[in-house]
Structure 1
Amino acid sequence: MRKKLTPKYLDSLPPAPMKRYEVRDDVVGGLMIRVSTTGAKVWYLAVTVKDRARRIKVGTYPVLSIADARDKTREMLRQIQLGTFEEESEVRLTLGDVVPQFIELYAKPRNRSWKPTERVLTKFANLYDKPITDIRRGDVVKVVDELIASGMGAGANRALAAIKKLFAWCLDRGTIETNPIAALKAPAKEVSRDRVLSDDEIVACWRAAEGESFPFEPFAKLIVLTGQRRGEVAGMRWSEVDLTQGVWTIPASRAKNATQHVVPLAPLAVLILQSLPRFAGSDFVFTTTGRTPVSGFGRLKARLEKASGADDWRLHDIRRTVATRMAMMGVQPHIIEAVLNHKSGIVSGVAAVYNRHAYTQEKRAALVKWAEHVEQIVSPERKAADLAA
């Protein structure tokens, strides 16, 4: 945000609710005021020095008035231009400075699912104002202990893993000389989930989905019928779907493992997609705005749970349910992995590199068999009538 700063405006700035914020001065380029969660206001200069982006502390407000801050900033800019600026006067990077850099330069280019990393790092918001070189092992342990005490076992592990990756990245870049948490172990013992929905629970969830409006009803049903990841189903584009051939191709740019994935669509899945409305000028299949894919998975799951009475499960458990039921139907493990688009497992290593067979027909047979089972349990009367005909 950029404003022509005045004393009245600065005095009205409230403390940051969770994460500190900045307001840039519209008079002197690069000058900004940073407001912390405690309400403290500090002047900074955002500038490039010797091809490196810097944030240099100018002073604190109101000790340094607006006029004083502008005068001092102009002099600092003059020294930078003349090459006489003393770099020792620059402020040290805080954790709050490093987090957005880490997300932009490391997390986003390497992981399409970078948003959870960004969210989990906010668990360390109390350390954001601290120079990253001053953060000690005990500071991180204290935050992790608080997460454990609040009941976040696996969540504490995720938070620690994210901050460890950030510190390792800083060490590689020379931002820090030593990594204080390099050998810090995960605090909670995790048990792999083995939740598989029963036929009755699948029926209950399917019926609950029918109580939802577009796009949540078909979205939930397509997750059940395809066994694909919720984010990949939510982001489905019409340009990815060939309803004539009954094929949905998830491009590598959207697949979690960055590998193009062909998903054969069972007849029931095709019928559902054929019945859906289309937003003019939008390529999204499941959307409420036409501009972005459907979201609000947590709220949807809560509604399904309440309506169905089936609890202690997650949307991701549906993938495990599909895989387990396919195995019970006699589908071979490598075909199940192909359906789920798993890189590791039965076909891995050198075999995965050289085995380019997509198992399209086998995947279709497996998904059709699974869809027929779903249709049988959710509409046994209609299925029996179809068989009799």
Structure 2
Amino acid sequence: MKQTLTTKSLDAMKPAAVKRYEVRDAKVNGLHVRVSTTGARMFYTMSRANGKRRRIKIGPYPVISLADARRRAMEIARSIELGEFDETPEIPEETVTTLGVVIPQFIELHAKPNTKDWKRTQSVLRKFDGLNDRHLDQIKRQDVTKVLDGIIANGTPTRANRALSAIKKLMNWCVMRGDIETSPVALLRPPTREIQRDRVLTDDEIRAIWRHSETEDYPFGPFLKLLMFTGQRRSEVSGMRWSELNLDEGIWELPASRVKNARLHIVPLPAQAVAILQTLHRFLDSDFVFTTTGRSAISGFGRLKERIKATLPENTQDWRFHDFRRTASTGMAKIGVMPHVIDAVTNHKSGVVSGVGATYNRYTYLNEKREALELWASELTKITMKPSATNAGRRSEQFSVLPTTTAFKNSGRDCAKSA
């Protein structure tokens, strides 16, 4: 579309519906403005330099006025005609980088500083490796949809949702930086409807996992027990530092940098958890409580889950480490802990004081949280001490035999004494 551009017409231009559009200026040859789906307007000029047709960026409107854009477009055309274009500091047609180049930049400059789970983002973006050689402005929605379809076909539909979320964040970041004008995935919706998990471990499952924890050496045995006692996230417990602990007062102080909602979180440790921590040896020059190298926190949770799975009944439903957290919350609710206190224990947003109160009241609900975790620890101890349903009959048979055996031994001793 070509028209005589005016400030009024530029201000009236509506955002693109699906794909960016261009309006050429009838007054200055080559000058045009691109309008994106966000409504951003960018001046360019088209010229032929050194035998090649080039699109040269001038700048965004209204930072660059229409008069300045026209003057700059004519200056570029003049420098090309005089053969001076290569000597000017002006950058020729914009260079659009490839996806393979921008992903590492996105991880380093955006994901790492702003996302605690940046490694998962990095991992899921590898699903788009087939598009790494493609320029960002050449990636279409259909390309991304094909990748998502492949992930679903592999039997991991929720991972397709995560992949879409990651590529959307990356593309929005590129739009913000000016690497592209519009995001090709802006209109895509999650391909799979997710059902929120409500899995809570049964008492028999808790007992089985507890028994397995006693067969595991350090670090995984005590790690599993603390995971069950505290109800905190797996990454928080596995990454526990000695510097965060005050065992004399039974306090675990999680800094904002280590928690999901980026707020200081105080966990009052029940006596059982303190006792476990007091038995652990500390690595020399290491702050990690659970580590095998001294340089990093433990990993290998997939293998640990497989070892636990082998000890559970065959009909056990799929479970995850996060289910310990839901089980603790449900268990506290059953024994009468108030919902807002449970949220404070598990550090959910609804249980966290915000604003000035969060700054000055570092020990929000400390006494209530301590009482809740002590009640849960007592309940968990009762559950683990009680025999499971599958072993109850076997144990009752053993107990029915014991009195006879004992009587026999006692009668023998009596006979020996009388003799």
Give me the TM-score of the superposition, normalised by structure 2: 0.68
Q: Is the 8 A contact 2:161 2:191 kept in 1?
A: yes
In structure 2, distance between residues paired with 1:153 and 1:353: 38
Name the SS of the counterpart of 1:253 in structure 2.
helix
Could you say if the C-alpha distance between residues 282 and 94 of structure 1 is closer, same or farther in structure 2, counting changes exceeding 3 Å?
A: same
Asked whether the equivalents of residues 305 and 311 of structure 1 are also in contact (C-alpha less than 8 Å), the reply is: no
User: What's the CA shift for 1:182?
Assistant: 0.2
Identity %: 54
Matched, 1:270 2:278: no
Query: Please, which of 306, 310, 314 is the counterpart of residue 306 of structure 1?
Result: 310
Aligned-partner Cα distance in 1 for 2:358–2:220: 37
Report the counterpart of residue 193 of structure 2 in structure 1.
Answer: 189
1:150 aligned to which of 154, 161, 179: 154
Indicate whether 1:341 and 2:371 are aligned: no
Match of 1:279 in 2: 283
Q: 1:196-207 residue pairs with structure 2 within 5 A?
A: 196-207=200-211
Segments of 4+ in structure 1 off by > 4 A?
82-91, 346-355
> After superposition, where does 1:373-388 map in structure 2 within 5 Å?
373-380=379-386
Structure 1 regions of 5+ residues with no counterpart? 1-81, 382-389
Summarize the alignment of residues 79-118 of structure 1 with structure 2, pairs less than 5 Å apart: 88=92, 92-118=96-122
Q: Which residue of 2 aligns with 1:131?
A: 135
Q: 2-side partners of 1:213 and 1:183: how far apart? A: 50
Q: How does 1:311-326 map to 2 (within 5 A)?
A: 311-326=317-332
Q: Secondary structure at the match of 2:276?
A: helix
How far off its partner does 1:91 sit? 6.0
Counterpart amino acid of residue 325 in structure 2: R
Q: Call closer, same or farther: CA 1:337–1:297 in 2, change over 3 Å.
A: same
CA distance in 2, matches of 1:346, 1:108: 27
2:333 to 319, 327, 338: 327
Deviation readout 1:236-289 (Å, 9 max, x if unpaired):
111111111111111112112111111111111011101111111111100001
Q: Report the equivalent of 1:209.
A: 213
| 1:167-182 equivalence runs, <5 A | 167-182=171-186
Is it true that 1:219 corresponds to 2:219 in the alignment? no
Question: Match for 1:279: what amino acid?
Answer: F
1:296 alignment counterpart = 300
Tell me how far 1:351 sits from its aligned partner.
10
Structure 2 partner of 1:362: 368
Q: Whole-Å Cα distance in 1 between the matches of residues 153 and 184 of structure 2?
A: 23
Give the TM-score normalised by the residue count of structure 1: 0.73
Q: Distance in 2 between matches of 1:84 and 1:297?
A: 58
> Whose radius of gyration is greater, 1 or 2?
2
CA distance in 2, matches of 1:363, 1:83: 70
1:140 aligns with 2:144: yes
